[in-house]
């Protein structure tokens, strides 16, 4: 009788031990699975944290510099390049909390880049769109930051005395709204980092 009781107790302990071990393994598997999900989410978050507007800024600066040089054809080419860059942006890489604002700014920037690209020979029209495009790029920098030092410059005379900003990679004023006519018209308003 003692042996049967001991056998039953031993069998019960073995079942409980195996059952607890399996439950523990399931919990460990769940933890590993959760870690994988977190790690996958972490990597996608990291991708979004790494979203950069640097290619947009580079194309904008090329366009602005073409207008500084009074080169409407180079400005048109740079406008087309900027439009292509804006169209290639990976929407999945943009952080969710900034997606809508990015889309609003980018839609306007695309329209301005397209107008500049389509209007070689009409430098005054290109410069009008540069004023709006400069605001768009400035808004993108406020939203995402910049990896390079830039300067926000202001021309008080452009747009019938209403003024307009532009962004530059140099401290020296080189006005894209008047080019060689008034190259040094304007002042640096602030440094962007």
* Complete DSSP assignment for 38-99: HHHHHHHHHHHHT---HHHHHHHHHHHHHHHTT-HHHHHHHHHHHHHHHHT--GGGS-HHHH
Give the residue from 98, 163, 116 showing the smallest Cα distance to 152: 163
Report the Cα–Cα distance between both ends of the chain, in Å, rounded. Answer: 85
Read off the pLDDT of residues 97-116 as tens digits, 9 standing for 90 and up: 999 999 999 999 999 999 99
Q: Can you give the pLDDT at residue 50?
A: 75
Structure tokens at 67: 């207008």
Report which secondary-structure segment, H or E, holds 28: helix 2-49
Angle between helices 96-117 and 54-68 (to 10 degrees): 30
Q: Can you give the pLDDT at residue 170?
A: 96
Q: Can you give the pLDDT at residue 49?
A: 53
Low-confidence ranges of the chain (pLDDT < 70): 1-49
Q: Can you give the pLDDT at residue 1?
A: 53
CA 188/CA 184 separation, integer angstroms: 11
What residues does 150 pair with on adjacent strands? 192
Q: What is the pTM of this model?
A: 0.75
So where are the chain's domains? 54-192
What are the contacts of 91-98 at 24+ separation with CB within 8 A?
A: 93/47, 93/48, 93/50, 93/51, 94/48, 94/51, 95/48, 95/49, 95/51, 96/48, 98/143, 98/144
Q: Mean pLDDT for the chain?
A: 82
Structure tokens at 128: 């009008």
């Amino acid at each position: 009788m003692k042996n049967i009781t001991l056998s039953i107790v031993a069998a019960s302990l073995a079942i409980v031990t195996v059952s607890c071990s399996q439950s523990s393994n399931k919990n460990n598997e769940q933890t590993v699975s959760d870690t994988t999900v977190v790690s996958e989410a972490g990597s996608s978050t990291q991708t979004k944290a790494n979203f950069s507007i640097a290619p947009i800024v580079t194309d904008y600066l090329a366009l602005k510099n073409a207008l500084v040089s009074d080169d409407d054809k180079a400005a048109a080419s740079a406008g087309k390049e900027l439009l292509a860059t804006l169209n290639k942006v990976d929407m999945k890489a943009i952080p969710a909390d900034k997606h809508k604002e990015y889309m609003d700014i980018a839609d306007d920037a695309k329209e301005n880049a397209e107008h500049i690209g389509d209007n070689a020979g009409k430098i005054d029209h290109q410069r009008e769109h540069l004023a709006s495009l400069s605001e768009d790029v400035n808004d993108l920098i406020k939203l995402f930051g910049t990896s390079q030092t830039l300067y926000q410059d202001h021309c008080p005379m452009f747009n019938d005395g209403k003024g307009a900003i532009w962004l530059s990679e140099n401290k020296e004023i080189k006005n894209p709204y008047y080019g060689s006519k008034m190259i040094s018209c304007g002042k640096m308003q602030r440094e962007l980092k």
